[in-house]
Amino acid sequence: MNGDSPQNRESSRHDGPRVNQEITSSKVRLVDAEGEMVGVVTRSEALTLAVQAGLDLVEVSPNAEPPVCKILDYGKYKYELQKKKAEAKKKQKVIEVKEIQMRPMIDDNDLGIKCRAIRRFLEEGNKVKLSMRFRGREMSHQEIGMNVVLKVKQDFDELAKFETLPRFEGRQIVMIMAPK
């Protein structure tokens, strides 16, 4: 707790639950500092009990009828919420979309290198966007590019699920794969 009493805290916060004087409801359902249900009391009674305990009155469930308020140390409560949020963020896996670009006349060795990269990306849990780009006269031989893309698709049938099957988008063929 910072030096001032819980009753006189600044009400400049607008993020998070309402505390002490910010609570607007005339009646509240009160839970005391030990977690015991006190019942429905007036706001002033609840504030008095909070001051006697040397803690804050925090509105934990504002949408209930009447709102649920708890007597606790607001600074500690805010810290615990922050820790929970950070822990949830740490467990979250950000899935990236990695793009592999090819040309229709790709050599077999180069195709092998691209396939190893695709395999590595999928094993890391990322999605892969395969782009087959056509330039100039290559547009008149789109079947060559489509055959290469279908070969790659066949190679990764067991390792990936296909979010979008090979399709033309302007001057390129696009396919998106995700790990199974």
Mean pLDDT for all residues in the chain: 85
pLDDT at 7: 46
Q: Which amino acid is at 10?
A: E
The answer to whether position 1 is within a domain reads no
Where in the sequence is the domain holding 83, given as residue range(s)?
6-89
Tell me how many domains the chain contains: 2
Which among 72, 89, 106 is the end of a domain? Answer: 89
pLDDT at 64: 83
Please tell me whether residues 159 and 110 are part of one structural domain. Answer: yes
Please tell me whether residues 20 and 83 are part of one structural domain. Answer: yes
pLDDT, tens digit, 9 for 90 and up, residues 3-42: 444 444 444 455 668 888 888 888 888 888 888 888 888 8
Instruction: Output the furthest CA–CA distance in the chain (Å, rounded).
Output: 84
Planar angle of CA 22, 27, 32, nearest 5 degrees: 80
The pTM assigned to this predicted structure is 0.52
Planar angle of CA 75, 77, 80, nearest 5 degrees: 110
Please tell me whether residues 139 and 170 are part of one structural domain. Answer: yes
Give me the DSSP letters along 109-170.
Answer: HHHHHHHHHHHHHHHTT-EEEEEEE--GGGGGGHHHHHHHHHHHHHHTTTTEEEEEEEEEET
Please tell me whether residues 122 and 156 are part of one structural domain. Answer: yes
